[in-house]
Structure 1
Amino acid sequence: MAWDFLVAKTDLRQTQFQPATLPDLGEGEVRLAVDSFALTANNITYAVFGEAMRYWDFFPAAEGFGRVPVWGFATVEASNHPDISLGQRFYGYYPMSSHLTVQPRKTRGGFADAAPHRQHLAAVYNQYSAVGAEDDLEAARAILQPLFITGFLIDDFLDEHAMFGAGSIILSSASSKTAIGLAFLLKQRGGAKVVGLTSSRNVAFVEALGFYDQVVTYEDLATAPMATPAVFVDFAGDAAVLGTVHRRFGDDVAYSCLVGGTHWEAPRGAGDLPGPRPILFFAPDRVKKRQEDWGPGGFETRYGAAWSAFVGDAPRWLKVETGHGQDALAETYLSVLEGRATPETGCIVRP
């Protein structure tokens, strides 16, 4: 039976499964059966910013509800497209549903979904990559790759601006997987000190990663010694943390970068702050710029090299947990939403 997992837009804890009708395929359409997907804090960010950044628009749902986007794998179950065959597998952006119908436009490595309702949305989310049979790194790819690419883009942005002359680059929510990816890259690049802000319960994990030069708890943020000028990369989206950083460093904040909302229930927007105005980082815009700057294949080559090094190290600290079926999906979603998943855990759901 086909189904959708729906989340109330005004109360992210309110969820339900709804039976879905699988329509007859039109000319050129393909139906994909979802094999597996990852659930991370990144997906909660999609829900938190669902209206503001149009994430709800990718996979429409009943009034008042949304289908949270996830990254994962699916197999072609039915095809009316001459170049897409039954049994082919694709990695990409899916709803938390059993199936997705797409209108493929062939690309070099797979296809782009040309469905009319997706054409005004960020193109990077419409790309699907052909993959072979499942391998040992498939779970890590679903969990980490969508997050690592954001870290890769931020690292590239900071490098383009010579790190804004920073003595330290401070990352909030340092145990989040996006922050871990960025810290990995910054540590390799060298120069500015990489400082991780985290809760006291996660200090040991963050220190053991080896990617941060200094780990500071939120309680010690106002007083712990940190090199200046400071660049702040905010994955938490917490007004209190953002305010503390700006009030402490003032004009010594060289750049303030807003990325995510892992502290999704905390108030956002800290009002007037000392130092520079925080700027939202939107990864799809950076992808588009670098694809133009680096030419055909240039982005993929640079990103691929960085990703290979990162994913090769991931088994050292990442523990994959896999759940099967609707009950596991509902429980895993709430666990991630409420921050009960430990930072070393990567959650995979098989519908």
Structure 2
Amino acid sequence: MSTTSLLIRKDQLASTRLHTATDAPLADGQVRVRIDSFALTSNNITYAAFGDAMSYWQFYPTGEEGWGSIPVWGFASVVQSLHPGVAVGERLYGYWPMATGAVLSPGRLSPERFTDTAAHRAELPAVYNQYFRCARDPLYTADSEDTQSLLRPLFITSWLIDDFMGDNDFFGARTMLLSSASSKTAYGTAFQLHRREGIEVIGLTSPANVAFCESLGCYDRVVTYEALDTIAADTPCVYIDFAGNGALRNAIHGRFTQLKYSSSIGGTHVEQLAAKGAGKDLAGPRATLFFAPAQIKKRTAEWGAEEFGRRMVAAWRDFITTATDANKPWLRAERHHGGEAVQAAYAQVLAGRGDPRAGHVLSLYKQPGDA
């Protein structure tokens, strides 16, 4: 057996290549999975952009200097098992490499999930090391795998951002400015914030995406990046930055004299991540990186794991009902099969091109009949 992976140059994210290697035999306690499908969104580009700083490259090391595997969320099936608690054929949801397969070392098993206890992942955030067993996963339905891959990890982050803001009384502000407003994590956050009494949610986006953002109904106002001056400069506000655009961050900090907090979430504008002056000599508050696992840890300690899970499941079901409404869906899945198709989809997402309603669901396996 062999595994094919899509490798990314860590210092040149547009450079990719396909690599196939013969599989090593499993050790006792390990399982091998076939990765059937995974989502690719701007969130995964953020993983690559912060791959070294946030240790994302460490989840699935390639063994090749300078080349990494971007982690993605999706579904896999167990095809070989040397673990007595995990059966061949079991369906799993979790954090995979962009590859045809992976090897896990399951530990801390429960009917609902297990943890990959591989030594190289021991110091990495626990939330990324959990694999959900679909047969007992409360969020799973067989007919919604594409939507789960595309929205589930992003919405959980969105839900946590909203919770973090509420937990801190919105830092004394009542206006939330969200950049990259057409991105899935941004509009998931807006969906939550919009339900808060007395909170104004303003989406910042490019002119091409104004109509899409307005159609969602979760932004009180949609403003283009060039029209920041239409928002009063003395508005007490919080900036939630999904774009990672240094020039935009400087403009926000320079304009709003009552900016109460600046939260950095990700980087959809990859070309601007290293923009000159980004994060340096900013007016107002320091830009602070939001780290979802920290809020998970805090709330799990305060609420207990069971209550944390109950609240998250309820929020997810509420959101997904709206986002997948057949009469007005926010998202449609587009499937791509085979190495070249995956490379092309990756290049499109990296460049920030495409319809915001489209979501890429990928597989490195070709469909029967493909050349």
Normalising by the residue count of structure 1, what TM-score does the alignment of the two structures yield?
Answer: 0.97
Equivalent residue number for residue 274 of structure 1 = 283
User: Structure 2: any 5+ residue segments left out of the alignment?
Assistant: 365-371
Distance of 1:140 and 1:57 partners within structure 2: 27
Q: How does 1:149-188 map to 2 (within 5 A)?
A: 149-188=156-195
Contact 1:167 1:227 in 2 (8 A): no
Deviations 1:39-95 (A, max 9, x none): 000000000000000000000011110000000000000000001001001000000
Contact 2:181 2:213 in 1 (8 A): yes
Contact 1:168 1:226 in 2 (8 A): no
Q: Once structures 1 and 2 are overlaid, which stretch shifts more, 165-174 or 268-277?
A: 268-277
Aligned letter for 2:116? D
Distance of 2:312 and 2:234 partners within structure 1: 29
Distance of 2:295 and 2:174 partners within structure 1: 24
Distance of 2:279 and 2:289 partners within structure 1: 14
Q: How does 1:146-295 map to 2 (within 5 A)?
A: 146-225=153-232, 228-250=235-257, 252-266=258-272, 267-268=274-275, 269-295=278-304
Contact 2:100 2:363 in 1 (8 A): no
1:277, distance to aligned residue in structure 2 (A): 1.1
Equivalent residue number for residue 67 of structure 2 = 65
Distance of 1:161 and 1:91 partners within structure 2: 32
1:270, distance to aligned residue in structure 2 (A): 3.4
Equivalent residue number for residue 20 of structure 1 = 21
Q: Once structures 1 and 2 are overlaid, which stretch shifts more, 309-318 or 97-106?
A: 309-318
Q: How does 1:35-46 map to 2 (within 5 A)?
A: 35-46=36-47
Q: Once structures 1 and 2 are overlaid, which stretch shifts more, 158-167 or 71-80?
A: 158-167
RMSD: 1.4
Contact 2:253 2:283 in 1 (8 A): yes
1:190, distance to aligned residue in structure 2 (A): 2.8
Contact 1:240 1:270 in 2 (8 A): no
1:224, distance to aligned residue in structure 2 (A): 3.4
Equivalent residue number for residue 5 of structure 1 = 6
How many residues matched? 350
What SS does the corresponding residue of 2:256 show, helix, strand or coil?
A: helix
Equivalent residue number for residue 333 of structure 2 = 320
Equivalent residue number for residue 54 of structure 2 = 53
Distance of 2:110 and 2:52 partners within structure 1: 29
Aligned letter for 2:266? G
Deviations 1:122-144 (A, max 9, x none): 11000000114972211111000
1:108, distance to aligned residue in structure 2 (A): 4.4
Distance of 1:167 and 1:273 partners within structure 2: 22
What SS does the corresponding residue of 1:137 show, helix, strand or coil?
A: helix
What SS does the corresponding residue of 2:133 show, helix, strand or coil?
A: strand
Equivalent residue number for residue 86 of structure 1 = 88
* 1:339 corresponds to 2:352: yes
Equivalent residue number for residue 367 of structure 2 = none
Q: Give 2:144's match in structure 1, choosing from 110, 134, 137.
A: 137
1:279, distance to aligned residue in structure 2 (A): 1.0
Deviations 1:97-141 (A, max 9, x none): 111001001134121000000001011000000114972211111
Q: Once structures 1 and 2 are overlaid, which stretch shifts more, 225-234 or 58-67?
A: 225-234
Distance of 1:150 and 1:226 partners within structure 2: 29
1:225, distance to aligned residue in structure 2 (A): 4.0
Aligned letter for 1:156? D
1:137–1:226 CA distance, 2 compared to 1 (3 A): farther
Distance of 2:183 and 2:67 partners within structure 1: 27
1:226–1:212 CA distance, 2 compared to 1 (3 A): farther
Contact 2:191 2:319 in 1 (8 A): yes
1:189, distance to aligned residue in structure 2 (A): 1.8
1:191, distance to aligned residue in structure 2 (A): 1.4
Distance of 2:263 and 2:36 partners within structure 1: 35
1:337, distance to aligned residue in structure 2 (A): 0.6
Distance of 1:249 and 1:271 partners within structure 2: 17
1:227, distance to aligned residue in structure 2 (A): 7.5
1:88–1:294 CA distance, 2 compared to 1 (3 A): same
Distance of 1:293 and 1:134 partners within structure 2: 29
Q: Percent identity?
A: 48
What SS does the corresponding residue of 2:44 show, helix, strand or coil?
A: helix
What SS does the corresponding residue of 1:85 show, helix, strand or coil?
A: coil
Equivalent residue number for residue 113 of structure 1 = 116
Distance of 2:141 and 2:200 partners within structure 1: 39
Contact 1:71 1:91 in 2 (8 A): yes
Distance of 2:354 and 2:29 partners within structure 1: 41
Distance of 1:12 and 1:137 partners within structure 2: 30
Normalising by the residue count of structure 2, what TM-score does the alignment of the two structures yield?
Answer: 0.92
Distance of 2:86 and 2:21 partners within structure 1: 23
1:37–1:227 CA distance, 2 compared to 1 (3 A): farther
